[in-house]
């Protein structure tokens, strides 16, 4: 593309404003990005995929979690499920930040999305192509 545009430069960066640590789970086995076994988890009837347990562990460590879905609907459904299931941080600073996010979302031209209105107060949001630019910015700032 840069060659076709003639005077354009080609630029690639791996910069991330927030470090990203990737893990994936197949069956009861959790792997890191180098495909090394990190741990074995036993499923429970309340959490057959183990996603709630894993999210709780990361949140308890003071970190944020990204859970990817294969569709917009799945992202929203998973966010709603996690908002009801994960342990939510309740320290004053976190609660105030979530309230600020809600005010920003309510002030957007499109108003607040009903799923985000339900999930953000619990510390959960989703990110997909259906978000408005304003929603996307608020969600991304909240993740950082």
Q: What is the pLDDT of residue 61?
A: 83
Q: What is the pLDDT of residue 3?
A: 66
Of residues 29 and 5, more confidently modeled: 29
pLDDT at residue 103 greater than cutoff 90: yes
What's the rounded mean pLDDT across residues 135-143? 87
Q: DSSP 3-state assignment of 54?
A: helix
Q: In what order do the strands lie in the sheet with 23-26?
A: 23-26, 29-32, 37-40
Domains of the chain: 23-143 (3.40.50.300)
Average pLDDT of the chain is: 86
pLDDT at residue 2 greater than cutoff 70: no
Q: What is the pLDDT of residue 59?
A: 82
pLDDT digits (tens, 9 = 90+) for 20-74: 788 888 999 999 999 999 999 988 898 888 989 988 888 888 777 777 788 999 9
Q: What is the pLDDT of residue 33?
A: 93
Contact 112, 102 (CB under 8 A): yes
Q: What is the pLDDT of residue 30?
A: 93
For the chain, helix (H) and strand (E) counts, in that order, are 5, 3
What is the pairing mode between strands 37-40 and 23-26? unpaired
What's the rounded mean pLDDT across residues 73-80? 93
pLDDT at residue 111 greater than cutoff 90: no
- Model pTM? 0.73
CA torsion sign for 41, 90, 118, 99 is: negative
Which residues, at least 6 apart from 103, have a Cβ–Cβ distance to it below 8 Å? Answer: none
């Amino acid at each position: 593309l840069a060659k076709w545009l003639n005077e354009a430069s080609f630029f690639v960066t791996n910069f991330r404003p927030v470090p990203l640590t990737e893990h994936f789970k197949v069956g009861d086995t959790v792997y890191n990005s180098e495909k090394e076994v990190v741990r074995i988890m036993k499923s429970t009837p309340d959490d057959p995929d183990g996603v709630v347990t894993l999210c709780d562990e990361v949140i308890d460590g003071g970190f944020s979690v990204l859970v990817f879905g294969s569709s917009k609907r799945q992202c929203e459904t998973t966010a709603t499920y996690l908002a009801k299931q994960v342990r939510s941080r309740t320290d004053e600073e976190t609660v105030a930040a979530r309230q600020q996010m809600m005010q920003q979302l309510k002030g957007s031209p499109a108003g607040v999305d009903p799923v985000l209105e339900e999930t953000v107060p619990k510390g959960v949001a989703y990110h997909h192509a259906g978000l408005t630019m304003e929603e996307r910015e608020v969600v991304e700032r909240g993740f950082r």
